[in-house]
Amino acid sequence: MQRVLDVKTKLEQKKRAELLEITERLAGTRGELFARRKILQDIIDGINKENPRKRLGKQEFFLRHSAASDEQIKKLKDRASELELQQKEKIAEVLKIRRFKEGLEKLRAEAKRKFIREQEKLEQKELDEGATVCFARKMIEKTNVGNNKD
């Protein structure tokens, strides 16, 4: 049982490492997504503060190039969604392994308690047999001593 528990512990550690890697990638993707959105928002805010005559040309330039930015943001959103799904799956795997391990640990603890109870019963049986033998010897000695006096 201990070997199975050791194997499951190693498997849990491996799955946790994979979960950590996915979580780090997800955080990086979310950070990049946030940064791109912030850059676009800063550009829009900058354009809005411009003189209306200069603003028109910058708005036109921004709109021509915003399609590429929007596509990159969409790809980042899709990647983040994919990573979130992978993260949920890994969490489920880790929890499944953990529950299995906990079940094994309970079984091991119960087996240990049962073994200890059996050992205590055997010790008590040996003590009872020893007491019975000791009592029987004393009775035999009393009987022999009583017979020798006659």
| Band (14; pLDDT cuts 50, 70, 90) | very high
**Cβ-proximal residues to 79 (8 Å cutoff; 6+ apart), any chain:** 29
What backbone torsions phi and psi does residue 51 show, to the nearest 5 degrees? -65, 135
Using DSSP, state whether 1 is helix, strand or coil.
Answer: coil
**Cβ-proximal residues to 71 (8 Å cutoff; 6+ apart), any chain:** none
From the list 86, 20, 23, the residue with the least C-alpha distance to 12 is 20
The predicted structure's pLDDT at residue 26: 95
Q: What DSSP letter does each residue of 57-89 carry, written as one string?
A: HHHHHHHHHHHHHHHHHHHHHHHHHHHHHHHHH
Using DSSP, state whether 36 is helix, strand or coil.
Answer: helix
Top pLDDT among 113 and 141 is at 113
Judge whether residue 150 has pLDDT over 60.
Answer: no
Condensed to tens digits (0 to 9), the pLDDT of residues 53-105 reads: 777 777 777 777 788 888 899 999 999 999 999 999 999 999 999 999 999 99
Judge whether residue 31 has pLDDT over 90.
Answer: yes
Minimum mean pLDDT among 2-6, 36-40, 54-58, 73-77: which range? 54-58
Q: What is the DSSP-derived secondary structure letter of residue 150?
A: -
